[in-house]
């Protein structure tokens, strides 16, 4: 895997590469020493939240490119439908990156990573992601094993969104605690249905509404009707609002 990462770092402007899972965990990385494990973990969580929004309007996504004043963040889907965990490749680059060269190199790297992960049973071995094992004095690299998720996380991750948590201590990258798997599924149904009317901002609306109606305890499925009442305020068309409620209630009843 390090050789595949190294091929990307040979591109001018690339400062870091990492693989993240659906829970926002850094599974493998190679980066300049300025990007320590803590910074990369922050990046991975931001990436997962952004991808959750993308999945609301395009569940079968393949690539996302974000432009900043200082450079770009290239995201590529490493998941194989029906196989293994949800994984994404993130390439952190500055303004020197040549988009044309990067497009070809990243496409080749994605193909190799998918083949490698599938052949290894989606396991990551080697040094921990603390930065041990450096290939040069200016770069660090590492891998860590994919943790076996609890049943709730497995079910929620398969939906494409990162709601998770059991009890008051269960907080996911989304910042919302849920009582159980059914409650997490209710939030997912609400978010996806609302996105048809308001777009990717739907997840923000759902998080805000959950915090209002359940500030002191995890969200539970029996609060869904109250949640729907809050969310329909964001839909201007009355017919669309009614359809939104029917869609969610029908999904929960099935």
For residue 48, the model assigns a pLDDT of: 82
> How confident is the model over 215-239, as pLDDT tens digits?
888 889 999 999 999 999 999 999 9
**Residue 78 or 50, more confident:** 78
For residue 199, the model assigns a pLDDT of: 81
Q: Given a cut of 80, is residue 110 above it in pLDDT?
A: yes
**Residue 204 or 78, more confident:** 78
Q: CA 152 → CA 37, 38, 70, 92, 130, distances in Å?
A: 26, 26, 38, 31, 27
For residue 175, the model assigns a pLDDT of: 64
Mean pLDDT of 11-40: 86
For residue 222, the model assigns a pLDDT of: 93
What residue spans define the domains of the chain? 2-143, 151-253
For residue 105, the model assigns a pLDDT of: 95
Angle (nearest 5°) at CA 63 between 58 and 64: 85
| Topology classification of domain 2-143 | Beta-Lactamase (3.30.450)
Give the ranges where the chain is alpha helix by DSSP (H).
2-9, 37-57, 99-119, 151-157, 181-198, 202-213, 224-231, 238-253
């Amino acid at each position: 895997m390090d050789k595949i990462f190294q091929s990307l770092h040979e591109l001018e402007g690339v400062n870091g590469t990492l693989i993240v899972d659906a829970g926002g965990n850094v599974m493998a990385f190679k980066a300049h020493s300025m990007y320590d494990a803590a910074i990369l973990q922050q990046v991975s969580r931001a990436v997962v939240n952004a991808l959750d929004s993308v999945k609301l309007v395009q569940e079968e996504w393949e690539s996302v490119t974000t432009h900043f004043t200082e450079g770009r963040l290239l995201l590529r889907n490493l998941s194989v439908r029906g196989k293994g965990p949800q994984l994404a490749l993130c390439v952190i680059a500055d303004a020197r990156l040549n988009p044309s060269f990067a497009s070809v190199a990243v496409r080749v790297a994605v193909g190799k990573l998918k083949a490698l992960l599938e052949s290894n049973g989606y396991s990551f071995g080697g040094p921990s992601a603390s930065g041990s094992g450096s290939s040069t004095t200016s770069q660090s690299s590492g891998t860590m094993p994919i943790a076996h998720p609890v049943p709730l996380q497995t079910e929620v991750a398969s939906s494409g969104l990162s709601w998770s948590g059991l009890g008051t201590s269960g907080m996911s990258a989304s910042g919302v605690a849920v009582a159980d798997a059914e409650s997490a599924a209710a939030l997912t149904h609400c978010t996806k249905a609302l996105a048809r009317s308001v777009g990717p901002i739907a997840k923000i609306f759902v998080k805000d509404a959950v915090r209002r109606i359940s500030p002191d305890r995890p969200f539970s499925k029996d609060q869904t009707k109250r949640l729907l009442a809050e969310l329909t305020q964001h839909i201007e068309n009355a017919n669309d609002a009614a359809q939104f409620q029917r869609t969610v209630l029908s999904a929960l009843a099935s």
